[in-house]
Chain A
Amino acid sequence: MTVTASSPAAAEADAILSVNNIEVIYDHVILVLKGVSLVVPRQGIVALLGANGAGKTTTLKAISNLLRTERGEVTKGSIEFEGQRVDRLSASDLVRRGCIQVMEGRHCFAHLTIEENLMTGAFTRRDGSAAIAGDLEAIYDYFPRLKQRRSSIAGFTSGGEQQMCAIGRAMMSRPKMILLDEPSMGLAPQIVDEIFEIVRDLNCKEQVSFLLAEQNTSIALRYASWGYILENGRVVLDGDARMLRDNEDVKEFYLGVSGAGRRSFRGVKHYKRRKRWLA
Chain B
Amino acid sequence: MSALAEMLQGEVARAAAETLLTVENVSLTFGGVRALSDISFDIRKGEIRAIIGPNGAGKTSMLNCINGFYHPRSGRITFKGKTRQRMRPYEAASQGIARTFQNVALFKGMTTLDNILTGRTLKMNRNFFWQLLRHGPAMREEIEHRIYCEDIIDFLEIEHIRKTPVGKLPYGLQKRVELGRALAMQPDLLLLDEPMAGMNLEEKEDMCRFILDVNRHFRTTIALIEHDMGVVMDISDRVVVLEYGHKIADGTPDEVKADQRVIDAYLGVSH
Q: Which residues of A contact B (CB under 8 A)?
A: 26, 30, 49-54, 57, 104-106, 145, 149, 152, 156-161, 163-164, 182, 185-193, 215-217, 253-256, 262-266, 268, 270, 272, 274
Contacts and interface: CB of A to CB of B under 8 A. Distances in A.
Contact of A105 (B33, B56, B103, B208): B103
Interface in B155-193: 168-173
A193 B55 CA distance: 14
5 contacts: A26-B168, A51-B203, A145-B54, A188-B55, A254-B200
B151 interface: no
B261 interface: no
B271 interface: yes
B268 A53 contact: no
B231 interface: yes
A185 to B, nearest CB: 5
A49 B57 CA distance: 30
Given A156-B30, A264-B234, 7 more contacts: A51-B203, A158-B60, A189-B227, A189-B268, A189-B270, A263-B205, A265-B231
A177 B107 CA distance: 35
A145 B53 CA distance: 14
A264 B198 CA distance: 19
B148 interface: no
Contact of B204 (A50, A185, A192, A265): A265
A52 B270 contact: no
Contacts of A51: 172, 200, 202-203
A59 to B, nearest CB: 13
Interface residues of B, number: 43
B267 A189 contact: yes
Given A159-B102, A215-B200, A265 B208 contact: yes
**Which 3 A-B residue pairings sit nearest by Cβ, starting from the closest?**
A160-B55, A52-B172, A53-B170
Interface in B18-58: 30, 33, 53-57
B160 to A, nearest CB: 11
Contact of B198 (A104, A217, A256, A270): A104
Contact of B235 (A54, A164, A256, A265): A265
A193 B56 CA distance: 17
Contacts of A255: 201
Contacts of A157: 56
B169 A53 contact: yes
Nearest to B35: A158
A186 B235 contact: no
Nearest to B55: A160
A254 B266 contact: no
A56 to B, nearest CB: 9
Contacts of A53: 169-170, 172-173
Contacts of A49: 200
A126 B271 CA distance: 43
Contacts of A145: 54-56
